[in-house]
């Protein structure tokens, strides 16, 4: 592998870092009531997410760092957007805290599992992927309503986001519980089958 190829392999990670860097200006634009500009910048972030994901899959430019940076950038931008929009009274606080709480539960569960049981890579389920997509679309529509379409009715979507946030959080917890129980049984079976020194 030549040096040029090595440099290109890091491009998806650089794009993820760029998306993290966009968190501050997006939040600042919302705090300044410049929701139209925040919307455009959020769309740029969304396109960069699609781009780095495609590059990683198409060219095989996957890495452990990228596996961390990509979802971290998404979650950081998403949680910041929900909290700032709640602060600006553009969406209800309970919804922002629900979205934040779900991600904290997932993070805490992953750390707890790793500390108590062992490594576990949780692949997002279909409901989790759909929930994240809907959360992103909802934020974009809130920005659109705040900047150009004040009559846009988002109440039904708000409740759908809340429902899927709870459902996907429970899905993660149940999958971890099943995996932990299975690992526990395997560990007990192994200890019974292993002869002990007298």
pLDDT tens digit sequence for 118-177: 666 666 778 988 998 999 999 999 999 999 999 899 999 999 999 999 999 898 888 877
Complete domains list, the chain, with CATH:
3-193 (1.20.120.1760)
Of 56-65, 112-121, 149-158, the poorest mean pLDDT is in 112-121
Give 99 or 123, the one with higher predicted confidence: 99
How many Å apart are CA 84 and CA 103, to the nearest integer?
17
Q: Helix 64-87 vs helix 23-31: angle between axes, to the nearest 10 degrees?
A: 10
Cβ atoms of 26 and 14 closer than 8 Å: no
pTM of the predicted model, to two decimals? Answer: 0.81
């Amino acid at each position: 592998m030549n040096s040029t190829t090595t440099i290109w392999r890091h491009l998806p990670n650089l794009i993820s870092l760029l998306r993290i860097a966009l968190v501050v200006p997006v939040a600042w634009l919302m705090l300044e009531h410049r929701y139209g500009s925040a919307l455009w910048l959020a769309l740029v972030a969304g396109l960069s997410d699609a781009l780095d994901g495609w590059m990683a899959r198409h060219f095989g430019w996957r890495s452990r760092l990228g596996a961390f940076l990509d979802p971290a950038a998404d979650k950081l931008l998403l949680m910041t957007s929900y909290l700032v929009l709640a602060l600006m009274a553009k969406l209800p606080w309970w919804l922002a805290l629900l979205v934040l709480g779900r991600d904290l539960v997932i993070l805490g569960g992953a750390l707890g599992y790793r500390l108590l049981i062992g490594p576990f890579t949780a692949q997002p389920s279909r409901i989790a992927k759909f929930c994240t997509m809907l959360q992103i679309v909802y934020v974009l529509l809130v920005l659109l309503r705040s900047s150009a379409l004040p009559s846009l009715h988002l109440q039904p979507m708000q409740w759908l986001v809340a429902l899927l946030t709870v459902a996907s959080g429970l899905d993660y917890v149940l999958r971890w519980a099943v995996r932990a129980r299975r690992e526990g049984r395997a560990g007990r079976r192994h200890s019974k089958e292993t002869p002990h020194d007298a």
